[in-house]
């Protein structure tokens, strides 16, 4: 680690309040990896090390208080594992899929999973929309990925019929919800619920938003979206190939005519 990087502070009481004593050693090991390897690889800024515990890890761990037992979780845009890896460490009953498109990040995530021996974590390199129509989860999480109106398009197609999007957000979440009203209506979402987490544990409240389907009995939208998207893509590809073939044939015929005239 760079000599200019501040040392990782000792584990605060806020983390002990959201992580069991049995899982705390793993959380501390992960924190050390964030403060060293993640900094060296440019995944975490050196200035974030002194506040890794309170601003990042405790802030992510508090999300586990609203996640159903034994559920499947998809964390999109996982980055260095916040909140996905923290959730998986704190709650071994959860099956967590980390979705991240950048190779250097997924390499780090894979190494952490192996080092900590986490058997409840799957790392997927790719964009969230690559899973549309093929996977569905009880909860889709994210942290500082995008405004809600964009996040809905990436997340809701992955939410199962009775599942929900639960995203960690800033204090301006009410404004994001108003901006996202047209998208919420298009997707057939229920009224978003703003959550205030950790008031009795953390130094400051963590805000989150929960969005579920308005009509869980209807066909899950991700099945329609995914199937239609893939079918449309295949159709466009086929038409494009046909057009290229026609152009090639026409050009070939023209060349033959020129040759015969010559």
- pLDDT at residue 27 greater than cutoff 60: yes
Cα distances (Å, whole numbers) of residue 160 to 37, 58, 72, 140, 206: 35, 27, 10, 9, 25
- pLDDT at residue 59 greater than cutoff 50: yes
pLDDT band at 242; cut points 50, 70, 90: low
Q: Is the pTM of this model over 0.85?
A: no
232-258 average pLDDT score:
47
- pLDDT at residue 259 greater than cutoff 60: no
pLDDT digits (tens, 9 = 90+) for 121-179: 999 999 999 999 999 999 999 998 999 999 999 999 999 999 999 999 998 999 999 99
Q: Which pLDDT does position 162 carry in this prediction?
A: 93
Can you list the domains of the chain with their CATH numbers?
13-218 (3.40.50.150)
pLDDT digits (tens, 9 = 90+) for 63-116: 999 999 999 999 999 999 999 999 999 999 999 999 999 999 999 999 999 999
Q: Which pLDDT does position 6 carry in this prediction?
A: 83
Q: Which pLDDT does position 17 carry in this prediction?
A: 86
Helix, strand, coil abundance in the chain, percent, nearest 5? 50, 20, 30
Mean pLDDT score of the chain: 86
Q: What's the burial of 140, exposed, middle or buried (CB within 10 Å: 0-12/13-18/19+)?
A: buried
């Amino acid at each position: 680690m760079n000599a200019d990087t501040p040392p990782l502070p000792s584990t605060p009481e806020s983390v002990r309040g959201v992580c069991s004593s049995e899982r705390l050693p793993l959380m501390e090991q992960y924190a050390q990896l964030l403060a060293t390897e993640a900094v060296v690889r440019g995944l975490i800024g050196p200035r974030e090390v002194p506040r890794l515990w309170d601003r990042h890890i405790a802030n992510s761990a508090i999300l586990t208080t609203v996640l159903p037992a034994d559920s499947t979780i998809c964390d999109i845009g996982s980055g260095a594992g916040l909140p996905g890896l923290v959730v998986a460490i704190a709650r071994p009953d959860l099956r967590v899929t980390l979705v991240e498109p950048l190779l250097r990040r997924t390499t780090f995530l894979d190494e952490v999973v192996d080092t900590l021996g986490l058997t409840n974590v799957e790392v997927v390199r790719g964009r969230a929309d690559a899973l549309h129509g093929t996977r569905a989860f009880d909860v889709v999480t994210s942290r500082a990925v995008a405004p809600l109106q964009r996040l809905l398009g990436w997340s809701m197609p992955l939410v199962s019929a009775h599942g929900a999007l639960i995203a960690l957000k800033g204090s301006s979440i009410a404004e994001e919800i108003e901006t996202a009203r047209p998208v919420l209506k298009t997707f057939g979402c229920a009224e978003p619920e703003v959550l205030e987490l950790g008031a009795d544990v953390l130094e400051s409240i963590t805000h989150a938003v929960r969005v579920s389907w308005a009509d869980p009995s209807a066909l899950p939208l991700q099945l329609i979206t995914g199937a239609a998207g893939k079918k449309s893509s295949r159709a466009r590809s086929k038409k494009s190939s046909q057009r290229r073939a026609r152009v090639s044939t026409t050009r070939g015929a023209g060349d033959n005519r020129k040759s015969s005239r010559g």
